[in-house]
Amino acid sequence: MTTATNNTDLVIGLVSISDRASGGVYQDQGIPALEDWLNSAITTSFRVETRLIPDDRATIEATLIELVDTVGCQLVLTTGGTGPARRDVTPEATLAVGTKEMPGFGEQMRQISLRFVPTAILSRQVAVIRETADSAALILNLPGQPKSIKETLEGLKDADGKQVVAGIFAAIPYCIDLIGGPYIETDAAVCQAFRPKSAIRPAPAPLKL
């Protein structure tokens, strides 16, 4: 059993939910896409805990609980299982383990995706806060395709690199602040984290040689 980490250590849980990928029918693409984007965007030191599981509600719920309550993740990102098909139960499992719903994340993800495909309206991504006696974590459902994962996290930019639509990750560092998690810094060229001025910490002074 993995013990929970100190809340000054950023631990991110990545959960790919797919019957076929977890069964070895094809290679999972969700977790590699998430890891690649997080490594490009987050400048704070962090580590990830990954899980590849089937579309089974009890398994999803148990995995999310384990990552937050036992492993000590402050952020959990899931990919897959958010459509209208009978086996798509990720949102139901996520809501079941949450103590607060955060509907703005799902609303923004659908707004971003609708700029590309009309079927984005069929997505049912949700976000919740799971609170325990000792800690709290943000759990967030993402789309299943690597391209869509990047678009929803990073947002949309024009040809000159100017932000046209904000991605959802811009709000995540401040959300983690508010629930007592570690201070997350990002590479502004990829995703500018937004905080009120009063919540921005000064950059650490350079070490004297």
Query: What one-character DSSP code corresponds to residue 159?
Result: T
CATH architecture of 10-198: 3-Layer(aba) Sandwich (3.40)
pLDDT tens string 33-43: 999 999 999 99
pLDDT tens string 71-116: 999 999 999 999 999 999 999 999 999 999 999 999 999 999 999 9
Quote the pLDDT of residue 207.
Answer: 61
Buried b (16+ CB within 10 A) or exposed e, 153-177: bbbeeeeeeeeeebbbbbbbbbbbb
* Tokens linked to 201: 């910490």
Cα 78 to Cα 141: distance, rounded to the nearest angstrom: 5
Where do the structural domains in the chain lie, given as residue ranges? Answer: 10-198
